[in-house]
Structure 1
């Protein structure tokens, strides 16, 4: 799996510019989530912890997917300390390119913008997420 990110633009959750996914470069972790999704809520502390630990070495972006309540999504992201940019995919533009059955899903993107791995479902532990970042993106901290 070494294709680039799809050429779709998504609006920012909250205030901010639209982002064209094809322009993004890594090392990057893209987490597809929704505030109504229990497994997304369960894994959110792992993503917040990764962002704290990996800092400038790994970028994180969230995509609030198929979520009718943007206000609740913003509230959830703030409560969970998900202090990285979040985009909105209300129209499920990412469904086909990422093969999304439903959230959560986490994509790993290398420094050249290639999509190197997709993890379907929630992470079961911090160790699982950290290990994937090390194995797929070659990033350690």
Structure 2
């Protein structure tokens, strides 16, 4: 008899817990922006991208969730001129190069995308991107899904993608000046 009562109590607890987290205190649905990451709504929304065929020497056919609001993004769908910066909030060199990336984004010369990589604290990543003025969409790759395809040893890493979707160049390591970044954009993307 005690066993049956115990099973019923466990089942009732599980049913009760199943509804937790899906509603706010007023009974309305909780927002899903950033897949529950605090402050995610402050970031630039990830755009929906039309499906395109993967290209030779292009970005990997991997979908990553948006760090902020917006849909998952399939990397193989992206075309340039595009600069993708792989970063993490715990990465000192990433913090050092952030102002150069923010300035490039403000210039409007190219499309920008960030990938928060191997980061155990996405809420701190949102805070970092917001504080640094990284006003472009960011994805999250907590599982290091891009590691093999882009040969990521660790952040920072900056990928230059041409108008056809091919990876034109990968810069490994920290960008040391605005001039260096601007020259890479000019040399690799025209």
Distance in structure 2 (CA, Å) of the matches to 1:124 and 1:14: 27
Residue 155 (structure 2) pairs with residue 103 (structure 1): yes
Is the contact between residue 161 and residue 167 of structure 2 (CA under 8 Å) also seen in structure 1? yes
- Structure 1 gaps, min length 5: none
Correspondences of 1:14-93 after superposition (within 5 Å): 14-53=68-107, 55=108, 57-93=109-145
Larger gyration radius, structure 1 or structure 2 = 2
- For normalisation by structure 1, the TM-score amounts to 0.94
Could you say what the CA RMSD is over the residues aligned between the two structures, in angstroms? 0.8
Q: Which has the higher strand share?
A: 1
- Structure 2 gaps, min length 5: 1-55
- For normalisation by structure 2, the TM-score amounts to 0.70
Deviant stretches of 4+, over 6 Å:
none
Deviations 1:84-141 (A, max 9, x none): 0000000000000110000000000000000010000001110000000000000xxx
**How big is the shift at 1:14?**
2.1
Distance in structure 2 (CA, Å) of the matches to 1:137 and 1:95: 23
Larger RCO (alpha carbons 8 Å, 6+ apart): 1
